[in-house]
Structure 1
Amino acid sequence: MSAGHDGTAVTHRRYIPYSHAHYGGDLVDGAYALGMFGDVATELCILTDGDEGLFASYSDVQFKAPIRAGDVVEATGTITRTGTRSRTVEFTLVVVCRADPDKGESAANVLDEPITATTATGTVVVP
């Protein structure tokens, strides 16, 4: 196995619109984070292998804190193992900004410390 791509990382940042709220309290379902992880994995595969690749599996997913409509989130994927055709990727989704409706209808804050909302380990496969 080659370590040629180990340590390569990609980050996507996205504002979560209120139309994505799925539960009370403007909560967004956990699948939102997994969708972002899929997009990050696709860019990683393009960057390292010139192909979109295929997401094969998750070996671990942890929902650590809620994601809410009005959040700005960052999803990062880092290749931790490079096989002949597979790549192991560690994912983290953090909340970097959060709406603050107590201050006003459109008020929001940049968080002093990002909130880790979701982590996962996944495997992608490239041709």
Structure 2
Amino acid sequence: MSQATVGDRVVHSRYVPYSHAHYAGNLVDGAYSLALFGDVATELCIRTDGDEGLFASYSDVQFLGPVRAGDCLEISATLVRVGSRSREMDFEVRVTARGTSQRGESAADLLDPPLLATTARGVVVVPPAG
């Protein structure tokens, strides 16, 4: 555990299974990204405060591009403000690889640059230090 510092960052990588597709074109609902934000926020709070913390709010959630089953994602949380008990974070979901079914059923391409799919700002509350 270290002291929470603006700029602290956690990154997860995740493959989106086909069982999570809800819509035509193998699209995944936006709540999927929000759940992933909860995972990176939890790890960031554990690293900085020794506690999982509790989400208090999201603001400025933006769905900028599709997330599809079969995508490889990079999910990040970056600490942007440290209060006495609150931790404000910026979140991003980037698609780093995507299936290309026109080349074959299991074909996929790395995306360079990755596609920014979802962003948000959130506040997590941790117990008082002590």
State the TM-score, normalizing by the size of structure 2: 0.94
Identity of aligned residues (%): 62
1:97 aligns to what SS in structure 2? strand
Consecutive unaligned residues of structure 2, counting only runs of 5 or more, are: none
Q: Note if contact 2:65-2:118 (Cα within 8 Å) is conserved in structure 1.
A: yes
CA distance in 2, matches of 1:111, 1:58: 28
Match of 1:55 in 2: 55
Report deviation, 1:54: 0.3
CA distance in 2, matches of 1:116, 1:22: 20
Give the total of aligned pairs.
Answer: 125
Report deviation, 1:4: 4.7
CA distance in 2, matches of 1:70, 1:7: 31
Match of 2:106 in 1: 106
Consecutive unaligned residues of structure 1, counting only runs of 5 or more, are: none
CA distance in 1, matches of 2:112, 2:122: 29
Moved over 3 A (4+): none
1:19 correspondence with 2:19: yes
Report deviation, 1:71: 0.2
State the TM-score, normalizing by the size of structure 1: 0.96
CA distance in 2, matches of 1:18, 1:52: 29
Distance 1:40 1:4, change over 3 A: closer
1:68-105 residue CA offsets vs partner (Å, 9 max, x unmatched) = 00100011000000000001000010000000100000
Report deviation, 1:112: 1.4
1:39 correspondence with 2:53: no
Report deviation, 1:24: 0.2
